[in-house]
Every structure is written in C-alpha cells, then in structure tokens.
Amino acid sequence: MDLRYSQEDIEFRQKVRAWFEENLPKKKIESFEERREWHRKLYDAGFIGMGWPKEYGGQEARPMEQAIVGEEMARVNAPAGVNGLGISIVGPTLIHHGTDAQKDEHLKKLLTGEEIWCQLYSEPNSGSDLASLQCRADIDGDNFIINGQKIWTSGAHNSEWGLMLARTDRRASKHNGISCIMVKMDDPGVEVRPLKQISGSSEFSEVFFSDVAVPADNLIGELNTGWRIAQTTLSYERGGNTLSRVSRLQTTLDRLLEVAGELRVDGTRAIDDPRIRQKIGQIYSEVEVLRYASLRLLSKLEKGERPGPEASVSKLHYSELDKRAQEIIQEILGPYGQQISGAGEYAFDESDVPYGEADTWAYQFVWSRAGTIYAGSSQIQKNIIGERVLGLPKEIRADRIELEERRKEEAAADD
C-alpha cells in the first residue's frame, strides 16, 4: 500500500492546474457555440478523450492522468466541454465495434466536438428493462426504416447524430433482436421534443421517428448483436470518474462551511451549533470515504484491471451519497437552500454547470435525485451486485417465465 501520488503525477497535476489558471474562461459561457469553442480548447490541450488510442486522436493517458484532469477541472469549477455522451459512450462503441470507415468518418469529429452525439436507448416503456425496447428498424433494400419513440435523450436538440438501439428481429428473444445503428438527427421524420424536468430546464428530450430511412451501412457490428454491444459500453458510464465527483462535492462542502460560518442560528453561528457540526462532520466523512474508495478503484485501473460488476458498488455509492449529502445540506440551510434567485450572501455560486444553469443549492439538490436513476438505477445496481458480485440466483421474472413457456411451445411444435 502506498497512497502517495508519484512524482510524475504531481508534475502532471501542476501542469494541468497551471493550464486552467491561464485558460479558464473569464466570462460565463452563454451559448452552445461558445461551449464548443471551449471544448476545442480543452481538446487542443489534450484533456478530451484522454484514454483513447492515439490513432483516433486520443492521448492513451493513464487512468490517473484522466482522474487528475477531472479533479482539477472540478476544483476550479471549470465549464464542461460538449459531447459528453458521444465521447464516453459512442466513441468507445465505435472503437470496439465500428468498421474502419465508420471510425475514420466519426471518431475525430466526435472528439473535437465537431459532431455532437446523443444516445437513443431509453423508451417510455423501456427504462430499467431496456432490452424490452420496441422502436423498430425494418430492413428495406439498402435502408433501415425506423419507427418508434425514444426518451430521456440528453442533448438531443444539439446533436447531429444519435446512437440508437432498435429492434431488428421481432421474433427473437428480447436480448437477441436488437441492433445498434447510427442515426442522423436532421433526417426527415425525426422530431425532437424537449422535456421539462423537475429542475425547470430541458436537457432531455423525447425523440420521435416516423419512417426514417437510414442507410444499412450505419449498422454497428453485426445485425441483432446490439444488446451485447451496448453492454460493453454501458459499463464505461458506470464507475469511471468518481474522483471528479469527489472534487465537486468537496467544493460544495467548502462553500457550506463558509456559509455556516456566517449564517446565525438562534444567536450563534451555525458552525458553532453542535447539531450542525454533527451533520457537516457526517457528510464530510462520507465524501472522504468516497475519495478513498475512488483511489482504491483508480489503483486497480492503473494496473490494467477492469472494474466489471464491482463498478456498480461505486455507482451505487456516489449517487446515493450525493442524495444524502444534498438532503443534509438542505436541512442545514433551511429556506436559504431553496432559493433559486436572490440568495445573496448565502448563495452557493453563480458559476457554470454543464448545461449553463445557475449552480444554486437548489439546483444541486434537484439534480441529486437524477443520479440514482440514470445509467442504471440504484435498484438495477443492487441486482447486478447481488447476482454478479455475490453470486445470488437471478430473480424469477414474468418475462423470463414467458420466454421459457414460448420455448417449450416451440419445441413441442417442432416435434
């Protein structure tokens, strides 16, 4: 055990920190185009797609270097770049399963933010049970004809492309009839309708497809192997960069301590109230534990070990912790925690967040409810941990019973 950063890592961190001190935008990013420019700057500095192979425009950076950049960005509250899902999900999917032509066409543009991608996976009736999706892609000559609806599509309104999971074989069992297809978002028959979330803003959309013709060349991998392809890249979404989450939470707690030093409760400073001290001590401890756990995961990644289903423990941990932390912060701040505007001296910060909203206590509180739903809800993570880490038997589910019965009937018919 040696939890010191290596000299190389320390020097790398100094370089990264210096870069952000010099290049951090002086004024708030307002438009998507401004954010794209900032993204390009991050890319030129080597901070985008860091883990990607060099031949596709990446840096082949070590996990530790990626973590350091994530941490340093969070530390100075740097605006995020664009194309988060494109880089974390679509890129790796293409790298692992795409043809040379697909890679040449998209990977570089995806990294530089020239091509913005969204992920067309979830459907109104297929959330946690993603494999039950119904949006269909029927083969018609050299095209797929797509019909159906997707939902919870982050950034759909800014995207040029979408990575879609669609049903291409309706007779196969649900996992075996899905294909992974690239769809152009401005094709005729694609309609994007923004959804308003409980935060009041609209990062997500519903996307409707009516007889959208997509070239068959846009298929990724083999026909009907989309589920397996999605599985390999969904795990990229889980458990990856928790150190930057730690940094963000630490920034939040630093500000909480400042506010608690000013806010007066019953004539004394909040920070001198033993009940409040207990609460802050509690969250601070939990965030520290998340940091230790992140270092533990990072040390495995550095050795080339893939976290696999253990990443679910990490996802469960940070998303549930964020919810607990935000609840406690709200308890401490009372009505000040709920101010969306006019918060004045007790405000969190008016700085940037990924989608350009004001970063308030209230905003953080609202968003903490999303983390335990997206990228596999906490309940799904617990199933994964129970079944794939602890080796407990899979539950008896209605869809599995149906499948069994159908197979029996088919076998009987064959006889």
> Which residues belong to the active site?
237
Least gap, CB of 332 to another protein (angstroms): 12
Nearer to another protein by Cβ, of 120 and 380: the residue is: 380
Q: Does the protein bind another protein through residue 74 (CB under 8 A)?
A: no
Candidates 231, 232, 282, 341; binder of another protein (CB under 8 A) is: 282
Name residues contacting another protein, limited to 135-164 (CB under 8 A).
none
Residue type, 7: Q
Q: Does the protein bind another protein through residue 323 (CB under 8 A)?
A: no
How far apart are alpha carbons 134 and 125 in whole angstroms?
Answer: 8
How far apart are alpha carbons 249 and 71 in whole angstroms?
Answer: 11
Nearer to another protein by Cβ, of 185 and 316: the residue is: 316
Determine the angle formed by the axes of helices 63-75 and 242-262, rounding to 10 degrees. Answer: 20
Q: Does the protein bind another protein through residue 59 (CB under 8 A)?
A: no
Please list, in sequence order, all residues whose beta carbon lies within 8 angstroms of the beta carbon of residue 301, skipping any fewer than 6 positions away: 63, 307
Q: Does the protein bind another protein through residue 340 (CB under 8 A)?
A: no
Contact region for another protein (CB under 8 A) — 19-27, 83-91, 200-208, 284-292?
284-292
Residue type, 10: I
How far apart are alpha carbons 76 and 160 in whole angstroms?
Answer: 30
Please list, in sequence order, all residues whose beta carbon lies within 8 angstroms of the beta carbon of residue 272, skipping any fewer than 6 positions away: none
Nearer to another protein by Cβ, of 53 and 281: the residue is: 281
Least gap, CB of 375 to another protein (angstroms): 17
Q: Does the protein bind another protein through residue 342 (CB under 8 A)?
A: no
Nearer to another protein by Cβ, of 186 and 395: the residue is: 395
From 333, 317, 306, 292, select the one nearest 371 (Cα to Cα). 317
Please give the radius of gyration of the chain, using alpha carbons only, rounded to the nearest integer.
23
Candidates 395, 398, 413, 415; binder of another protein (CB under 8 A) is: 395
Candidates 291, 326, 329, 365; binder of another protein (CB under 8 A) is: 291
Candidates 10, 18, 195, 392; binder of another protein (CB under 8 A) is: 392
Size of the site for another protein (CB under 8 A): 49
Candidates 198, 390, 398, 411; binder of another protein (CB under 8 A) is: 390
Please list, in sequence order, all residues whose beta carbon lies within 8 angstroms of the beta carbon of residue 87, skipping any fewer than 6 positions away: 48, 49, 110, 111
Candidates 264, 296, 406, 408; binder of another protein (CB under 8 A) is: 296
Please list, in sequence order, all residues whose beta carbon lies within 8 angstroms of the beta carbon of residue 4, skipping any fewer than 6 positions away: none
Q: Does the protein bind another protein through residue 401 (CB under 8 A)?
A: no
Nearer to another protein by Cβ, of 64 and 190: the residue is: 64
Least gap, CB of 379 to another protein (angstroms): 7
How far apart are alpha carbons 220 and 198 in whole angstroms?
Answer: 35
How far apart are alpha carbons 89 and 48 in whole angstroms?
Answer: 14
Least gap, CB of 274 to another protein (angstroms): 8
Collapse the DSSP code of 382 into the 3-class scheme (helix H, G, I; strand E, B; otherwise coil) and give the result.
Answer: helix
DSSP-assigned states of every residue in 166-228: EES-SSS-GGGSEEEEEEETTSTTEEEEEPP-TTSS--EEEEEEEEEEEEGGGEESSTT-HHH
Q: Does the protein bind another protein through residue 166 (CB under 8 A)?
A: no
**Site residues, another protein (CB under 8 A):** 1-6, 9, 64, 250, 257, 271, 274, 277-278, 280-282, 284-285, 288-289, 291-293, 295-296, 298-300, 302-303, 313, 316-317, 379, 381-383, 385-387, 389-396
